[in-house]
Amino acid sequence: MIVRPSLRAPVRAAVIGFLLHALTAAWAWRTWGYFGRGNVLAWIDFPVSLAYMHRDETALLAASLVAGGLQWATIAALLTLWVGSALRRS
């Protein structure tokens, strides 16, 4: 797949955002106790976490990794596009 140079940075930012979220969620899941880790994941993925907070433990982690990762990938890509367009204007 050939990616245009103008879309290369947002794609890389999306992948990096997804991976950073996955690392952060896995770290929070391992280091926080039973009560705290669900709360930490809820705050990390706040708007999206309302859709999957009713799930049990393993499904909660899986939903956080997928849905929260996609949320943060989208935020990273949009922020990269916004910064890139602001720099091109000046």
| Whole-angstrom distance, CA of residue 63 vs CA of residue 21 | 12
Comparing C-alpha atoms, which of 87, 80, 61, 68 is closest to residue 14? 80
Domain positions in the chain = 10-84
pTM of the model: 0.81
Burial (CB count <10 Å: 0-12, 13-18, 19+), residue 10: buried
Three-class SS state of 63: helix
Per residue of the chain (90 residues), what is the pLDDT tens digit?
565 667 888 999 999 999 999 999 889 888 887 777 778 888 888 888 788 887 887 888 888 889 999 999 999 999 999 988 777 766
* CA distance linking residue 52 with residue 70, whole number of Å: 14
